[in-house]
Structure formats: structure tokens, C-alpha cells
């Protein structure tokens, strides 16, 4: 038995969603849930098919667009991911996770300004997310804006004080920040 009191196999294989779809092929939620299960198993092609089926039935399902975007991202299809995230945001503009995910897709394409805008928006919606501060800080660091990177890492440390990754990022960024300052470079580049 698993923690839900079900036999180990039940609910862990996606079969319950397949049965639900067989009983009601018009059940968009069943396609969404089976797609989410496939995504959790890193079966991205199957996930994309199920999310597309859900969207064919319910074209305004923001979660299906967002999750399909995630599956596209895992396949390094970042433009397709961005298109899905953008549609999800149009349907649900207050979902910080979708902005966060689209920010990652932009980052993976080297589109740092757009990534920073999405991370900024995600943080406006959820200013307590240490991971988003960390990831925004990494982008700031990668473009040489160590002052902003340091500020983001410090905020992440404040929000998640037991996370060891924050200490490592802070130490590395402080060293880069100090080295840049000693060289007399303008390390406070503006990011529009």
C-alpha cells in the first residue's frame, strides 16, 4: 500500500486517467491529469499529446498551456514553450509560476532582458519565492551585474536561510563584485 492507502500500482501508472478517458473521451481534465503524470515521468511527447487533446476540448485551459510549455522546454523547444507560456499568461495573468517558467525559456535562448522582465513579474506576484530571486540573481551575474545579483542572492538567503546553495552563490558573487570594484569598472550596469 502507498501513503494514500491504495495498492502500490494504482494511481502510479497513469492507468486511472486512461480509464477515465476511455469512459469519457470528452473529459479535458483527464487528459490534463494524464499529461501531468506523463510530464512527471519525463515522457514529454505523450504529455504534449495529452495537453494538446485537453486544449482541443477546452481551448481556454491555462494550466494545459503552461504544462505543455514545460514539456516543450524539457525537449529544448524553447520557442514553442514561450508560445504556450504566453497563451497561458493571456488566460491567467496572475500565475507567477508561468512567468517563472517563461523566464527560464527566455534565459535558455539567451534573451536575458525578457527573462528578467518575467522574473520581475513573477516576484511581483509572489515576493516570497527564494528560487525566483536566486534564478534572477544568476541572470544578473551572467550579464555582469553583480550588485543586482548580490541583492537577489541576499534576498533569497533571507527567505530561505537554511538553503546551502544561497551561501555558495553569495560568496562567489561577493568575490566577483569586489574584484570588479577593485578594477574600477562600472559594475552597476543598468538593465532595461
Average pLDDT, the chain: 86
Residue 151 neighbours by CB under 8 Å, 6+ apart: 137
| Contact (Cβ atoms closer than 8 angstroms) between residue 91 and residue 62 | yes
- Cell 502507498: give the residue: 2
pLDDT score of 2: 40
191 CA to centre of own chain: 22
Give Cα separations from 117 to 20, 38, 110, 132, 187 (angstroms).
40, 30, 13, 12, 20
pTM of the full predicted structure? Answer: 0.80
* Domain spans of the chain, in order of start: 14-111, 128-192
| Residue 181's pLDDT band (cuts 50, 70, 90) | low
| Residue 169's pLDDT band (cuts 50, 70, 90) | low
Higher pLDDT, 191 or 165: 165
Tell me the per-residue pLDDT of 113-152, one tens digit each, with 9 for 90 and over: 999 999 999 999 999 999 999 999 999 999 999 899 999 9
C-alpha cell at 144: 555582469
Long-range CB contacts (within 8 A, 24+) of 34-42? 35/64, 35/67, 35/68, 35/71, 36/67, 38/14, 39/67, 39/70, 39/71, 39/74, 41/14, 42/74
In the CATH hierarchy, which top-level class contains the domain 14-111? mainly alpha
| Contact (Cβ atoms closer than 8 angstroms) between residue 188 and residue 140 | no
C-alpha cell at 173: 558573487
| Contact (Cβ atoms closer than 8 angstroms) between residue 137 and residue 149 | yes
Higher pLDDT, 184 or 190: 184
Tell me the per-residue pLDDT of 112-122, one tens digit each, with 9 for 90 and over: 999 999 999 99
Amino acid at each position: 500500500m502507498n501513503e494514500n492507502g491504495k495498492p502500490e500500482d494504482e494511481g502510479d501508472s497513469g492507468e486511472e486517467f486512461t480509464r477515465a478517458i476511455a469512459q469519457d473521451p470528452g473529459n479535458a481534465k483527464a487528459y490534463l491529469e494524464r499529461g501531468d503524470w506523463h510530464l512527471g515521468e519525463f515522457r514529454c511527447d505523450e504529455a504534449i499529446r495529452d495537453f494538446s487533446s485537453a486544449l482541443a476540448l477546452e481551448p481556454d485551459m491555462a494550466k494545459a498551456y503552461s504544462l505543455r510549455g514545460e514539456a516543450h522546454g524539457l525537449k529544448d523547444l524553447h520557442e514553442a514553450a514561450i508560445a504556450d507560456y504566453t497563451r497561458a499568461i493571456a488566460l491567467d495573468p496572475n500565475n507567477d509560476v508561468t512567468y517563472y517558467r517563461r523566464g527560464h525559456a527566455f534565459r535558455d535562448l539567451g534573451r536575458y532582458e525578457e527573462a528578467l522582465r518575467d522574473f520581475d513579474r513573477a516576484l511581483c506576484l509572489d515576493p516570497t519565492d527564494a528560487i525566483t530571486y536566486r534564478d534572477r540573481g544568476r541572470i544578473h551575474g551572467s550579464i555582469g551585474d553583480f550588485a543586482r545579483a548580490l541583492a537577489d542572492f541576499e534576498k533569497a538567503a533571507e527567505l530561505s536561510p537554511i538553503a546551502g546553495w544561497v551561501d555558495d552563490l553569495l560568496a562567489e558573487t561577493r568575490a566577483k563584485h569586489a574584484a570588479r570594484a577593485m578594477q574600477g569598472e562600472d559594475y552597476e550596469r543598468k538593465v532595461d
